[in-house]
Amino acid sequence: MRGFREIARIAAAFVGIIVGAGFASGQEIVQFFSSFGITGLAGVAFSTILFTLFAAALSGLGHHFNAASHKDALYAISGYPASVFLDALITIFMLAVLVIMFAGGSALVEQLSGVPAIWGALLITAISVLIVWLGLQKLITIICCVTPLMVLLVVIVASTAFPGMTDSAGAMERAALKLPAASNHWFLASVLYVSFNIVAGAPFLIIMGSRATSRRVALRGGMLGGILLGLLMLLLAASFYVRASEIAEVPLPSLYLAMRASPVFGFLMAFVIFASILNTAVGVLCSFAARLSETSPSRFRPASAVGAALAFGGSLLGFTQLINKIYPFFGYLGLVLMVWILFAWFRFRPWRATGTQECEAPNAAL
């Protein structure tokens, strides 16, 4: 029972990280899956397989190397200078994710209240910096608890999207194909979606895996997380597909469908989306500032302020446009990380390792 609880905790934590960065708003699912029509659902299935594989690999490698940070595992996987490139990729992508989180928060405020997006961006920027500066860990713990609520709301929203459909199958397909797409082909889009999410989730999964009590727990936790994520993606993608004609101009489709189902569900979904975005924003901002101030902890607050200011400026470009440009771009770059993960997976074969300290220290691995 204890082992299952630990597996479930790793899986839920992984889903929580990806929910904020990858699909809380619904816009990501629309552009990477629903926009390809019925074949986009095949992309969801393929992405689920990739998520399951790479989440298990990262968690297992983290446990194998007993990594204190993602840098330790990256160096052990790729050595120098490749690890420098991968570390820089992850660090820059953290800032890009922060830009999109601030833009998502501003879009949420604008869609709910009609207030100009700049005020929503200022709100989430100020809250994120305040939490990071004050170290309000209890608040972050509370925010993390919204993940089960998000799962429940996705199920409810999906169950209300299908009844009362008036469009024919052909009309739904035509409407879906008119939605903004992140790529020219569903297969490439599904790979890119996994790629940028793996870049975002790699540091977290590595650390979670290193703290697991056994390699079996680390591997199964990652696998379960990938499967759960895939099921949620499928529910949302199918819901957006059947309502494609209604969500074409909507920045946050998840919120739209929730409001369509019930004002109460809409309010809860707005809270969950904001909390998920804030959770990811705070975690990314904290990691970004910690990485920049690694050699001088006294620079942590200035680094977080600079990161937040840069992200605020970038967020004003618009939520939908940012997702359409930034995520595919880093998805292509993230393919490099995916190749290295597969290389390390077959080279070190963590599924065969025994014990808790299963290899040499990372700086001596290569």
Q: What is the CATH number of the domain that holds 292?
A: 1.10.4160.10
Position 241 scores a pLDDT of: 92
CA angle in degrees (0–180, nearest 5) for 68-277-93: 50
Tokens of 186: 């569903």
Q: Which residue do the tokens 């305040």 mark?
A: 130
- The answer on pLDDT for 188 being more than 90 is yes
Q: Record the tokens describing residue 267, joined without a space.
A: 């309010």
pLDDT, tens digit, 9 for 90 and up, residues 79-100: 777 778 878 887 888 888 888 8
Provide mean pLDDT across the span 321-332.
Answer: 81
> pLDDT tens for residues 252-262?
888 888 888 88
121 domain-assigned: yes
Assess if residue 58 is contained within a domain.
Answer: yes
320 part of a folded domain: yes
359 within a domain of the structure (yes/no): no
In this structure, is residue 122 part of a structural domain? yes
Sorting pLDDT into bands at 50, 70 and 90, what band is 351?
Answer: low
Task: State how far the Cα of 152 lies from the Cα of 29, in Å rounded to an integer.
Answer: 18
Residue with tokens 């790699």: 202
198 falls within a domain:
yes
Rounded mean pLDDT of 68-83? Answer: 71
> Has residue 28 got a pLDDT over 90?
no
Range scoring the smallest mean pLDDT among 15-19, 152-156, 278-282, 311-315:
15-19
The total of structural domains in the chain comes to 1
In a domain, 213, yes or no: yes
The pTM score is 0.81
- Domain assignment of residue 357, yes or no: no
Highest mean pLDDT among 17-31, 66-80, 122-136, 337-351: 122-136
Quick one: DSSP state of residue 248? T
Q: Residue 302 sits in which domain range?
A: 2-351
Q: Check residue 63 and give its pLDDT.
A: 84
Residue 265 in this model has a pLDDT that exceeds 60: yes
Burial class, 340, CB count within 10 angstroms (exposed 0-12 / middle 13-18 / buried 19+): middle
pLDDT at residue 364 tops 70:
no
